[in-house]
Structure 1
């Protein structure tokens, strides 16, 4: 066994999220303190040292876990500005996105194949389509009712009923922080627009991320841990595949680890033009330069829980090693009262991987990110979840254009 980790660098890749990264710092502060109190260890979070090498928003964590003091520097690899730009669509443009995105997934057969894996995330994908159509139907019905009233004044006045349509649709849009219909529509449309390929601005940002991780691998940390949550998981796959291909993972450098959480890889890899992602999945799954652990839970209706992202995408090579697919088992690791409280809060559950557990099993986000064990040591003897899904159901399995 190698010596305990005394210094670690963590690079966190968020999903499709327009929110400022301070949200993740405050989440870590709150939930880390809660987990430490539950599990009997200490975590102290401080602001990022601006005089250090960090280029992006982050924070510093001191962990006193299992009798070992570990210093961890967190950085959030921010692409929220790209997300916000992609969400700057008017109401009419969003409905046009709805049609294009639905056609992309339905006509390609991807939607039906995704349903063979997990129905939860597919329902989550259909929700914004259905709810936006309901909003439109309600606006049209209200316009029809108003037109009938105005017709009592004068037949030509009935046309005035249409003026209520944009007002109602705009009201729904302003309330989207409660409905999430526009947000989710933009999310799925972002991947569907290029049929699974990465937009140029995202490719450029991913190259920047790769350079920063490569620089950390030249440093004096014991472990460099990349965490990809939700859509950030498939970004992490491609970023790390690029690093390994380029020979930027030194054999005598820090241990390289990759933790994917609540991944939605099939939503992208099942699209026709996702050649790059499929090639990166196949490549990374066979490499020994890193350890890749994938954690999800059937209780998370927004993720493709326990679906091996390489295998289900139909690109698993014969010498496949990764990922090790594990379950966070929400029904077992959350107390009955907590599970009852969160069970129908789908978006909150999608972030549970970054939060405290009442009865943590062998998955503890804070032990992994602030504790003395490397990811490969923590799960060295761990067998993959017996209920994982490995059936290759993807129609598109090509890895070259």
Structure 2
């Protein structure tokens, strides 16, 4: 793999399109967080990095910021675009609980009876537990609500029997709100439902959004003097990063033959959440199509401490994709969250499941080969930076 080649003294010009996970965070909050994390990047690497205020497209589905970065003897210009779908998540959250819970139970039955959940445990047992966790907590709330209702039924009054169903529903709904919201129970149930519905072709809203994102990829790829095109998918966004690029290639079949290095980077990846389901034929076919494009590279970053990803797995192999002779797709690289952060910073987040999950796309406080902002804003292209299959320890691989 090779990185972008530029004339001496000319800034590296990079287009980055970012697809996040199933998250209701608004673009405004996303870019506020990015500005904060860029501060860590500046301090850790002793560089200058200045973003422009983020501005939305006319439809509000894409937000753009430009980041000018300067280091010792190098400079880079990053056209950073957030491909936003938080509005679809908020629409799901707005559904009443009496709709959301049955939908999630239907999803659970689907993934159980098709053998998908057992496949999770065979591939990465931590992800299997993570997948089942919100269903487990919801079941606990059902048991607690049934217990409270049984206590109420001991009251010798004719109205109690009539009120028992109301008591049960109120207690269950209350537990789903607290501590359920604190434990992200409803959020995770909705995320499971959304991905299952998308896989089955029941989310025309997301289909339309991905077509929009595909057109945005083509628009960025047409930027003059662009040295690298990078599509980043985090969490559930990993599925949609691959899907959006395949749709872009369907719109413009010659895109990958024009010499522009195109890479998909998946982190905290949920590709196998759908890819292991027998019904995910369309997803597997699209990834197979990407594998046939020699100028398209897929780099999958995995880590032991993030339960959301499938650690030490080859997604293409587990999805039974047909390999191309002499081609590695994806390049699977194992990284260590611990090495990205100073000891005190790591100790502070290590027990926070989602904070560890998000470290993939946040600023490091320790120099390490995997650094989200070095990848997006640094002088070295993604392909050149990760030419090795495995990550060396941080102490043996630092940059200046």
Q: Deviations over 1:255-310 (max 9, x none)?
A: 32221111011110111221111112222234222232111211001111232221
Instruction: Measure how far apart 1:206 and its partner are.
Output: 0.8
Instruction: Measure how far apart 1:188 and its partner are.
Output: 0.8
Change (3 A) 1:156 1:55: closer
- Structure 2's unaligned 5+ residue stretches are 393-400
Instruction: Measure how far apart 1:49 and its partner are.
Output: 6.1
Instruction: Measure how far apart 1:250 and its partner are.
Output: 5.5
Give the distance between the partners of 1:219 and 1:357, measured in 2 at CA.
Answer: 29
Give the distance between the partners of 1:206 and 1:198, measured in 2 at CA.
Answer: 14
Number of the residue aligned with 2:182: 178
Instruction: Measure how far apart 1:47 and its partner are.
Output: 0.4
Instruction: Measure how far apart 1:374 and its partner are.
Output: 1.9
Q: Is the 8 A contact 1:197 1:273 kept in 2?
A: no
Instruction: Measure how far apart 1:190 and its partner are.
Output: 1.6
After TM superposition, the structure 1 stretch with the greater mean CA deviation from structure 2, 166-175 or 367-376, is 166-175
Give the distance between the partners of 2:297 and 2:72, measured in 1 at CA.
Answer: 22
Number of residue pairs the alignment of both structures matches? 382
Q: Is the 8 A contact 2:51 2:67 kept in 1?
A: yes
Computed over aligned residues only, the root mean square deviation of the Cα atoms, in angstroms, reads: 2.5
Q: Does 1:26 align with 2:32?
A: yes
Number of the residue aligned with 1:333: 340
Match of 1:70 among 76, 80, 93: 76
Q: Is the 8 A contact 2:23 2:86 kept in 1?
A: yes
Change (3 A) 1:143 1:350: same
Q: Deviations over 1:107-159 (max 9, x none)?
A: 111111111111222111111101111111111211111221x31xx355444
Instruction: Measure how far apart 1:75 and its partner are.
Output: 1.3
Match of 1:80 among 86, 107, 128: 86
Q: Trace 1:111-260 onto structure 2 (pairs within 5 A).
A: 111-148=117-154, 150-151=155-156, 154-175=157-178, 176-193=180-197, 195-197=199-201, 199-220=203-224, 221-245=226-250, 246-249=252-255, 251-252=257-258, 254-260=260-266
Give the distance between the partners of 1:49 and 1:147, measured in 2 at CA.
Answer: 58
After TM superposition, the structure 1 stretch with the greater mean CA deviation from structure 2, 304-313 or 342-351, is 304-313
Number of the residue aligned with 2:286: 280
Instruction: Measure how far apart 1:195 and its partner are.
Output: 4.9
Number of the residue aligned with 1:375: 382
Q: Deviations over 1:25-54 (max 9, x none)?
A: 1222111211221222221222036799x9
After TM superposition, the structure 1 stretch with the greater mean CA deviation from structure 2, 311-320 or 298-307, is 311-320
Instruction: Measure how far apart 1:338 and its partner are.
Output: 2.8
Q: Does 1:110 align with 2:116?
A: yes
Give the distance between the partners of 1:353 and 1:116, measured in 2 at CA.
Answer: 25
Change (3 A) 1:316 1:41: farther
TM-score normalised according to structure 2 size: 0.87
Q: Is the 8 A contact 2:142 2:172 kept in 1?
A: yes
